[in-house]
Structure 1
């Protein structure tokens, strides 16, 4: 009798223990789910309150404007839910202006980690090897003052001559001398073209040594430099923004002002790991200081227009190192 009673008590104790253990496990799981949910809610609310997606959307598009000739991020973007590690992912279309229309060439995928060193932008470009197709040659060597030359792509003018007049195209060129953006705009006035982007000299070889450059003989090209595009501006909370699509007499001053303001904001509000590591804007403090002290100096441009108008630039004295980009059907109205 005693053994049977002990066995029965043992079974009751084991059953009760299993029940108690199950309840504790379920309680821990429930607490874990609640803590995870609260943590993710705090992350999401904090991210939305600080407009993290909007801010990184604006600055990655701004860096693209400056670094890549005539490639811009469109206004819209899509974002994914923030991850448990605080990583934010967003994407937006990449467009070129050819004629008066936007041509989609790919997509930018932005991954913003808590740590800037692990954040990056990846460009998806179907059918393209690289995002930057053009290069621009300095008209003189800043180190010696020697005159430089620009190497043109082969048969650019012949191709424009053969293209049907019902097409528009994109053309890049270097200039035979340094010009202010206003002077370059003035030089393009006789032609029915839109100026979209200008490479800027920002103190390379004088105030700092650029990370990369190329050329041989009497040719010198800068890699990783900055250029002037139509102004991109944003409200303080990044909830609204505006974009200027071309550079002309009416927009050039505002575009220069906006570029300086945006550079100043990046330097004041972000660490170098953000603007240099994440955005890829090398030597930004030196470039900003040079532009403030010396003003804007251009040495080329990307323009677009009817192919027969672009062909007229063959006779323009300052145009050197011509390069033909995208060609599309007529959309110039």
Structure 2
């Protein structure tokens, strides 16, 4: 095989051979394949002939030295052909392997460039973590991404809850990506109760059904818990509150608010809203919310430099800034709406368009809140008229700081 022909094969496998030369080479390869088929048939006939000659020799019917010489020459020819066949097979194998390795490397480069360009990876991570935070009461996830070959990426992280004074691990979450298309995520809970088997009651629904105080079992459960424990409680409210109004109610309590359930229309008015929509006590700041405080540049070579910056999120009063919190909630929903396919894979039960439209028209009003703290402090809420119902969630040993 000439070096010129080898070079054409290499360019052909890389896809860089001009169209005219590619057509000629493919025609030549078809001829070689036809030649190979002919050679195989020829070798089979010669093998068959050799077997008959051996039979003749064993019966004493040899025709002499001439035939012996022809047989020896034929064996040499077949050996040469066989070696040629194996060389061709090995060459084809290496060509296919080289093409596969080239595609593997190129796909890895394209994958890394795609997810890093324009902050796509960070945006997708923000969308996924936001969807978890607004659809799963008192649950957040810190994601890490792992770019793979063939344009794939996987995001995964621990699911965390605030129980008392500590953030505890309650499970894990993972979701695959193929370029900009997110796959269905997987929640793996360490305890089935952590997966959201608690609910709130919408005020009007509770009144109409006569189940305003159907939480006697929950209070008795709370009474039986040891005083040296902390718990998570889902509180349903007697009416709709603004964020500022509810924060003022919570400020005197020795409890920590962690999540607010927002009225999103008909979706929230079901008697048992097991999958409510809301926002965490600590706002979900996004890239557009951050304020850059410092930018620095450092040379890393003759013609290159590294630029770094530091930024801070807006300051929020512990029991105030309701308008800022509500606007952050709406910004989060709009971010999810821009990447609806990804959001729907995390929280398919949320109608983002309908919810955003309703909240934009009626404002953000709250009908439930998740709080956590000492059991003895939760028991003090029994006589508060602004609480219509309670559900007890996770319980842990004492970890509270006064």
Structure 2 length normalisation: TM-score? 0.68
Q: CA deviation at 1:180?
A: 1.4
**Alignment partner for residue 201 of structure 2, among 118, 123, 137?**
137
Q: CA deviation at 1:231?
A: 0.9
Structure 1 length normalisation: TM-score? 0.80
- Asked whether the 8 Å contact 1:91–1:110 carries over to 2, the reply is yes
Note the 1:192-203 alignment, pairs <5 A.
192-203=254-265
- Asked whether the 8 Å contact 1:193–1:304 carries over to 2, the reply is yes
**Alignment partner for residue 128 of structure 1, among 184, 187, 192?**
192
Q: CA deviation at 1:326?
A: 2.0
Aligned to 2:212: 150
Q: CA deviation at 1:97?
A: 0.7
Aligned to 2:334: 264
Judge which range, 9-18 or 311-320, deviates more: 9-18
- Asked whether the 8 Å contact 2:233–2:393 carries over to 1, the reply is yes
Aligned to 2:276: 225
CA distance, structure 2, for counterparts of residue 23 and residue 146 of structure 1: 80
Are 2:306 and 1:255 aligned?
no
CA distance, structure 1, for counterparts of residue 326 and residue 213 of structure 2: 28
Note the 1:79-228 alignment, pairs <5 A.
79-84=145-150, 86-114=151-179, 116=181, 119-129=183-193, 131-141=195-205, 149-204=211-266, 210=267, 220-228=271-279
Are 2:105 and 1:37 aligned?
yes
- Asked whether the 8 Å contact 1:120–1:279 carries over to 2, the reply is no
Structure number with the bigger relative contact order (C-alpha 8 A, sep ≥ 6) is: 1
- Asked whether the 8 Å contact 2:111–2:147 carries over to 1, the reply is no
The total of aligned residue pairs comes to 313
Deviation string 1:220-266 (CA, Å, 9 cap, x unpaired) is 2334331121311222699999899x994235333212111122233
Q: CA deviation at 1:130?
A: 5.6
CA distance, structure 2, for counterparts of residue 158 and residue 225 of structure 1: 25
- Asked whether the 8 Å contact 1:63–1:281 carries over to 2, the reply is no
1:19 is paired with a residue whose SS is: helix
CA distance, structure 2, for counterparts of residue 302 and residue 237 of structure 1: 25
- Asked whether the 8 Å contact 2:244–2:320 carries over to 1, the reply is no
Q: CA deviation at 1:296?
A: 0.9
- Asked whether the 8 Å contact 1:137–1:149 carries over to 2, the reply is no
Q: Where does the alignment leave 5 or more consecutive residues of structure 2 unmatched?
A: 1-65, 291-308
- Asked whether the 8 Å contact 1:276–1:282 carries over to 2, the reply is yes
Which one has a larger percent helix, Structure 1 or Structure 2?
A: 2
CA distance, structure 1, for counterparts of residue 189 and residue 390 of structure 2: 24
- Asked whether the 8 Å contact 1:195–1:303 carries over to 2, the reply is yes
- Asked whether the 8 Å contact 2:131–2:336 carries over to 1, the reply is no
CA distance, structure 2, for counterparts of residue 61 and residue 261 of structure 1: 14
Note the 1:60-71 alignment, pairs <5 A.
60-71=128-139
Q: Where does the alignment leave 5 or more consecutive residues of structure 1 unmatched?
A: 205-209, 215-219
CA distance, structure 2, for counterparts of residue 331 and residue 130 of structure 1: 19
Structure possessing the higher radius of gyration over alpha carbons: 2
